[in-house]
Amino acid sequence: MTTTIRTLQRASRREWRRVKGILRTESVGGFILLGATVAALVCANLTPNYYKGLRDTQLGFDVGSLHLSLTVGHWTSDGLLAVFFFLAGLELKREFVAGDLRDPRRALAPIVAAACGVAVPALLYAAINVSAGPEALRGWAIPSATDIAFALAVLAVIGSHLPGALRVFLLTLAVVDDLIAIIIIAVFYSGDLKVGFLIAAFAAIGVFGLVVRHWRRWFEHTPWAAWVVLWPLAFLAWALLYNSGIHATIAGVLMAFTVPVEADDPDHDLAADLEHRLRPLSAGVAVPLFAFFAAGVVIQGPSQIVDSLTSSVGLGIMVALVLGKMIGISGGTYVVTRLPGSDLHPDLAWVDVVGVSMLAGIGFTVSLLINDLSFDPSSPNTDTGKIAILSASVLAAVLASLVLGARNRHYRALEADEPEGDDDLD
């Protein structure tokens, strides 16, 4: 007898408790991120010289050929975002070791949906910019990632009664999305490779992995130990990888992969402990500071916005994020449900999937990062990309709110008929 695979089925109690903790932190982080974005736009337009001067202030030092004298903007994009990517790496490993991605049947839908949610926007962007020249085409990966903090913040406001399965699906989808974006950055947006620094960086990451595994119980029970031992090692690995030509945020992911995940012993799980300690730092400090220095664009009037959004780069980003994400994720999920022995969970409707797919069109943190990596800072495409990312994210949030808001009212009306406590079950 063939077992039916329920796409977007409910999470287990343990998984749902873990996800709810992430949702709370990321939702709050999303509102902080929104505040940082507004502050960036206000500062960039009211005090442009001060804003630019602060962003371009040099900090750090150089030691021989080890270059660590960077601008504040670079420290936030290459340094602080490494914390964000370290958490993304922890979440990826946890999903594959102890989460939904451990089960190939449950992993198939978010993996296929995420892959299609990257491929379709990239193809749409490329199709719109195919005749715009090689510089414009360098931005093909800008609409690849979903900003989970912003998306979950919107979901927290309009989706209080939506099924937990949708939230788990969005979070898992974003995790896979981040993995694809990380690979894209490592492969397509790294500079000239310096083999010596690269070997030294991998050696430092290896030492980090040995230390974190050998003394993991000590790090679990002694919170200060990580700051004294692990993070200096992490900074060394980051600095070496930065100077190797590989984008430095990748160091965060590689180090996260070395942290052991205790799937059967949650009380002695260093990965969960580090995630619990670092997530507020990432969501409340690292990502908002990056947004403050990355999202500030001087807007000289409505005509500039219109020109940006009607240019090939701006239009490509808008179409890719708003339509491409929806088509790719919904289409990928539909393909999975057409496989033999698979279907959509009967408690859900396709309009739910479409709404979540629209929400995934909120591309912000990683999109801004790839935008800065794609274009020269002096190129008008840099500001065009930022305006398009912000506009597309707002439009995606509005459209998703309309769809999911209506579905939220529907599920609120049905909630009284659902047996108490069933919401956390498979």
Q: Quick one: pLDDT at residue 4?
A: 54
Domain span including residue 297:
5-190+247-414
Give me the chain's average pLDDT, please: 84
Q: Quick one: pLDDT at residue 392?
A: 94
Q: Is residue 195 in a domain? A: no
What pLDDT, in 10s, does the model give residues 278-301? 888 888 888 889 889 988 888 888
Pairing verdict, β 58-63 and 66-71: antiparallel
Q: Is residue 237 in a domain? A: no
Report which of 178, 183, 181 is spatially closest to residue 141, judged by C-alpha positions.
Answer: 181
Report which of 293, 179, 196, 296 is spatially closest to residue 243, judged by C-alpha positions.
Answer: 196
Q: Is residue 42 in a domain? A: yes
Q: Is residue 38 in a domain? A: yes
Percent of residues, the chain, with pLDDT higher than 90: 35
Judged by average pLDDT, the poorest of 5-9, 53-57, 237-241 is 5-9
Residue 336: both structure tokens together: 């999975």
Report which of 3, 8, 35 is spatially closest to residue 348, judged by C-alpha positions.
Answer: 8
Q: Is residue 278 in a domain? A: yes
- Coil/strand/helix, residue 71: strand
Residue 409: both structure tokens together: 């009212």
What pLDDT, in 10s, does the model give residues 339-383? 876 777 777 889 999 999 999 999 888 898 899 889 988 889 999
Q: Is residue 224 in a domain? A: no
What is the Cα–Cα distance from 250 to 238, expressed in whole angstroms?
8
Instruction: Find out whether 360 and 391 touch, Cβ atoms under 8 Å.
Output: no
Q: Is residue 266 in a domain? A: yes
Of 8 and 200, the structure prediction assigns the larger pLDDT to 200
Domains identified in the chain, total number: 1
Region 93-121 average pLDDT: 83
Pairing verdict, β 342-344 and 5-7: parallel
What is the Cα–Cα distance from 234 to 225, expressed in whole angstroms?
13
CATH number at residue 94: 1.20.1530.10
Instruction: Find out whether 415 and 2 touch, Cβ atoms under 8 Å.
Output: no
What is the Cα–Cα distance from 321 to 367, expressed in whole angstroms?
10
Instruction: Give the torsion through C-alpha atoms of 400, 403, 404, 409, to 10 deg.
Output: 150
Instruction: Find out whether 5 and 166 touch, Cβ atoms under 8 Å.
Output: no
Instruction: Find out whether 73 and 56 touch, Cβ atoms under 8 Å.
Output: yes
Q: Residue 383: count other Cβ atoms within 10 Å of its Cβ.
A: 20
Instruction: Find out whether 144 and 118 touch, Cβ atoms under 8 Å.
Output: yes
- Coil/strand/helix, residue 145: coil
Residue 51 clears pLDDT 50, i.e. is over it: yes
210 φ, ψ (degrees, to nearest 5): -65, -45
Instruction: Find out whether 120 and 324 touch, Cβ atoms under 8 Å.
Output: yes
What pLDDT, in 10s, does the model give residues 26-50? 667 778 888 888 999 999 999 989 9
Q: Is residue 221 in a domain? A: no
* DSSP-assigned letter for residue 219: H
Instruction: Find out whether 262 and 216 touch, Cβ atoms under 8 Å.
Output: no
What is the Cα–Cα distance from 29 to 284, expressed in whole angstroms?
5
